[in-house]
């Protein structure tokens, strides 16, 4: 008799326990997706993570998104958004609580100049390298206004003589 009561109790409690666990996991998953929403991330990009191990915003990926500072901060952002607070009010609340160090500066309007500066710097480097590779003054033909001719160069004449002698030996 006692065994049948235990089976009856298990048969009644087991589905209830499974239902309770399923409901809790669904509620947790929904709240997790809510604190990972685009609205929360939009506000989180203006706030620095305060864990001390990274330099990311409140959406840092330390410990698979379970950072000891960021997850509660995202939850607070979500709760404040649910209460109808604006993004500026939420950021001001965090600044009041943690100070100016939590505020993450927005990019300025001059970011577009960086690629052009990089191209200009690369062009200057290429010009300097080409000047270095080109070397010193080059010999010009005699017709170029009185510049020394290639034929007048004594060192080239000596090499020509050596080449002529070596060619004569081959014939």
Domains plus CATH for the chain?
8-102 (1.10.8)
What's the CA angle centered on 152, arms 149 and 154, to 5 degrees?
135
* 37-61 b/e (C-beta count within 10 Å ≥ 16 → b): eeebeebbebbbbbeeeeebbbbbe
Q: What is the pLDDT of residue 29?
A: 45
pLDDT of residue 139: 53
DSSP label at 52?
S
Residue 135 or 96, more confident: 96
Q: What is the pLDDT of residue 32?
A: 64
- pLDDT (0 to 100) of residue 26: 46
- H-run or E-run covering 38: helix 38-44
Lowest mean pLDDT among 14-28, 57-71, 111-125: 14-28
Does residue 42 carry a pLDDT above 60?
Answer: yes
**Percent of the chain whose pLDDT exceeds 70:** 68
Instruction: Please report, rounded to a whole number, the percentage of residues in the chain having pLDDT higher than 90.
Output: 14
pLDDT confidence of residue 54: 78
Weakest-pLDDT range from 63-77, 118-132, 143-157: 143-157
Residue 6 pLDDT grade (very low, low, confident, very high; cuts 50, 70, 90): low
> pTM (2 decimals)?
0.47
Report the range out of 14-23, 33-42, 147-156 with the highest average pLDDT: 33-42
pLDDT in tens, 7-23: 766 667 666 666 666 55
DSSP 3-state of 103: strand
Local confidence band at 121 (pLDDT 50, 70, 90 cut-offs): very high
């Amino acid at each position: 008799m006692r065994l049948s009561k235990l089976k009856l109790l298990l048969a009644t409690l087991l589905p209830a326990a499974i239902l309770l666990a399923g409901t809790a996991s669904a509620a947790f998953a929904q709240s997790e997706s809510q604190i990972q929403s685009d609205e929360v991330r939009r506000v989180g990009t203006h706030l620095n993570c305060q864990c001390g191990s990274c330099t990311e915003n409140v959406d840092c990926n330390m410990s698979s998104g379970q950072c000891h500072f960021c997850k509660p901060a995202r939850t607070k952002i979500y709760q404040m958004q649910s209460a109808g607070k604006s993004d500026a009010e939420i950021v001001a609340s965090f600044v009041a609580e943690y100070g100016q160090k939590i505020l993450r500066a927005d990019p300025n309007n001059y970011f577009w100049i960086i690629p052009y500066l990089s191209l200009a710097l690369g062009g200057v480097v290429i010009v300097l390298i080409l000047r270095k590779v080109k070397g010193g003054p080059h010999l010009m033909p005699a017709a170029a206004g009185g510049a020394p001719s290639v034929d007048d160069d004594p060192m080239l004449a000596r090499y020509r003589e050596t080449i002529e002698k070596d060619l004569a030996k081959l014939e």
